[in-house]
Amino acid sequence: MRLRRRIANFILKECRLRELQGSRPQRFIRAVLDEIDFQNLRDAYPCDGFHDRAEMYRSVHQRFIGGEPIDYLEFGVFQGNSIRQWAALNSHKGSRFFGFDSFEGLPEDWRTGQGKGHFTVQGAIPQINDPRVKFIKGWFENTIPPFARDFTRRNRLILHVDADLYASAMLGLVHFAPYMANGTLLIFDEFYDRENEFKAMMDWQKIYKKNFRIVAEMDNYGKICAELL
């Protein structure tokens, strides 16, 4: 923490010396500090790396779930590949799988080439022949709060955050924080994005004082699975 503060103060001093003002230096400082946090996190939790998501899901399921039932919540479903894989991995009759998505694409611009409406499937909900799987269609701000209010956790909780955007990721994390016990698993699909899913995880952790460890990663920590402690 002291190192981060010293680096931030140094950058501010240099900006003042060079008469750089406005939001650009602040954005640069934030980017530097986020990069330090990301590298520190990666160094603190060396873990198994995987080449594809299905392989990572299987390993996490074998190590932490086994034959137990789960409550699986996915934020950002798209065509349903991940929730379909998890439902196939866990055949327990008591497991529940909930997928949240508007199925109309991103609610706002994300990055170059992936603007508002990207990832749309024209409102089509994936067809999965499994009565344990339910989809909650709509924009997160309209669907997550009422669902979370009425939710009762029955099993080990898994949150799969594939929301891409900071605000969308935070909605799921914040509203389901009261249900997160030790052993809850958090999966992030775009953890490499310092301004969005990574930032959401770090800000959420600071607010709720949750301890965690990274137990699996893919693409040099671009995708991760964390366990709450």
Instruction: Give the separation between CA 197 and CA 201, rounded to whole angstroms.
Output: 6
Amino acid making up residue 52: D
Of 196, 198, 188, 139, residue with least CA distance to 160:
188
> Is residue 103's pLDDT more than 60?
yes
pLDDT per residue over 185-196, tens digit each? Answer: 999 999 999 889
Predicted local distance difference test score (pLDDT) of residue 1: 53
Instruction: Give the separation between CA 35 and CA 37, rounded to whole angstroms.
Output: 5
Q: Residue 174 — pLDDT band, cuts 50, 70, 90?
A: very high
Q: Residue 33 — pLDDT band, cuts 50, 70, 90?
A: confident
* pTM of this structure: 0.87
Q: Residue 42 — pLDDT band, cuts 50, 70, 90?
A: confident
Name the percent of the chain lying above pLDDT 70. Answer: 87
Instruction: Give the separation between CA 71 and CA 209, rounded to whole angstroms.
Output: 23
Residue of higher predicted confidence among 115 and 60 = 60
| DSSP class of 61 | I
C-alpha angle 208-209-211 in degrees, rounded to nearest 5? 120
- Domains of the chain by range and CATH? 2-44 (no CATH), 49-228 (3.40.50.150)
Q: What average pLDDT does range 141-158 have in this prediction?
A: 97
pLDDT per residue over 52-65, tens digit each? Answer: 999 999 999 999 99
> Is residue 31's pLDDT more than 80?
no
Q: Residue 35 — pLDDT band, cuts 50, 70, 90?
A: confident
Instruction: Give the separation between CA 21 and CA 27, rounded to whole angstroms.
Output: 11
